[in-house]
Amino acid sequence: MNYEHGGWSDDVDETAPDNSTTTRRRRLILIAGVSIALIVVLGLAFGRGHNKPAASGPSVPTVTVIVPGRISVAATTTATGNLQAKRAMPVGVAGEGGMVSRVLVDAGQWVKAGQTLATVDPAVQAAQTSQMQAQITSAQADAKLAQTQLDRALALVSRGFISKADIDQRTATRDAANAKVKLAQAQYREMAARLGRLDIRSPSAGLVLERNVEPGQIVSSGSSALFMVAMDGVLELQAKLAEQDLADVKVGMPVTVTPVGASRSFTGTVWQVSPIIDPTTRQGVARVQLAYSPELRPGGFATAIFSAQHVQAPVLPESAVLSDAQGNYVYVIDKNNMVARRGVKIGDVSDTGIAILSGLSGDERVVYSAGAFLNPGEKVIPDLKRAN
């Protein structure tokens, strides 16, 4: 074959791409991309310009409100206090005292009126009593002798052997002897009474609350109470109530008392309402009488619910009622949609909510929840919550 060098180098491959065409294509793609990016940027800028508010200012919050109305609820008041004996009787030494020989009862036992609780060693008083008996016998013998001598003198006076003066003398001797007998008998009765007071007795039937004496202990009339007895075992709760709540409590009102740790509640009645109010705490005391039960322990703490008649009152959810140092309160929305604080007195808490005994008429728009994040005077947008 005959190949020419020059002919081979000038041949063109028709399948190879044209460089100028490729360059133009790349330029068009680049221009199109830049145009699209510019359009996006302008669109975002235009959108921001239209969404920007005409005037800046604080946003007004939207709050859920309810109009509670009024329903029939029990006007109850809750208070706390301490349990104790209604009539606590301290029992001490009524006589001279001495060394305690026996203690016959313990705390928690029931006793009868006059029952012996403890005895004091009567050795000294018993000896004195025996001495008094001997003095009575001696005085009676002297009185009998004086009477015999007087009788003899009266038999001889008619014969002239005894003068009238001797009769008067023997009569006086007889009367003095009889007087000594009465004196000795009175001293004996006194000693017997003192001996009887050595037995420490319960002044009334009741429940022994405290025992503060042991055998061998020396006691006297100046000693502190040896026993504490609850008269008839009747207890009471001294419930402390605020001044405004105490005004609603009446004698005879039923009260439900629940001691701390007890498995059940007990029913009592108000038997006394304090006539005074503590000027410091602004509280008074309502005394609630309770029948004895082993679960009612004097000194314990208990909760009392005072029940009165049913009244028409608003009922709010717990989320709507707030509390601080000034007391319980709610937030209401006035006609200008402004937040206003309203102090309230709460009553019984039930599954339906908290009864509002005073402070609301039931027609107000009350903030349902999130009241802690609001301030009085703040403007809001109320959203009325419909009843379920």
**Residue 226 burial (10 A CB sphere; 0-12, 13-18, 19+):** buried
Kindly state the percentage of the chain with pLDDT values over 90.
34
Query: What three-state secondary structure class fits 181?
Result: helix
Where do the domains of the chain lie?
Answer: 59-70+314-388, 76-86+234-308, 89-120+199-229, 122-197
Q: Do the domains at 59-70+314-388 and 76-86+234-308 have one common CATH topology? A: no
Written as six digits, the tokens of 3 are 């190949």
Residues counted in the chain = 388
**Fold that domain 122-197 belongs to in CATH:** Helix Hairpins (1.10.287)
Residue 11: DSSP 8-state:
-
Helix/strand/coil percent split, the chain, to 5 = 30, 35, 35
Query: What CA–CA distance (Å, rounded) separates 118 from 166?
Result: 57
> What is the bridge-based pairing of β-strands 266-273 and 283-290?
antiparallel
Provide CATH code, domain 76-86+234-308. Answer: 2.40.30.170
Q: What pLDDT, in 10s, does the model give residues 60-73?
A: 889 999 998 888 77
Q: Which of 128-142, 241-255, 268-282 has the lowest mean pLDDT?
A: 128-142
Q: What pLDDT, in 10s, does the model give residues 80-116?
A: 999 999 999 999 888 777 888 899 999 989 999 999 9
Residue 224: DSSP 8-state:
P
Is pLDDT of 53 > 60?
Answer: no
Q: What pLDDT, in 10s, does the model give residues 190-248?
A: 777 777 677 888 999 999 999 999 999 998 877 889 999 999 999 999 999 988 888 88
**Fold that domain 89-120+199-229 belongs to in CATH:** OB fold (Dihydrolipoamide Acetyltransferase, E2P) (2.40.50)
The per-residue pLDDT for 6 is 42
**In this structure, which amino acid lies at residue 203?**
P
**Residue 249 burial (10 A CB sphere; 0-12, 13-18, 19+):** buried
Measuring CA to CA, which residue among 130, 91, 128 is closest to residue 219? 91
The per-residue pLDDT for 146 is 86
Query: What three-state secondary structure class fits 134?
Result: helix
CATH architecture of the region 59-70+314-388: Beta Barrel (2.40)
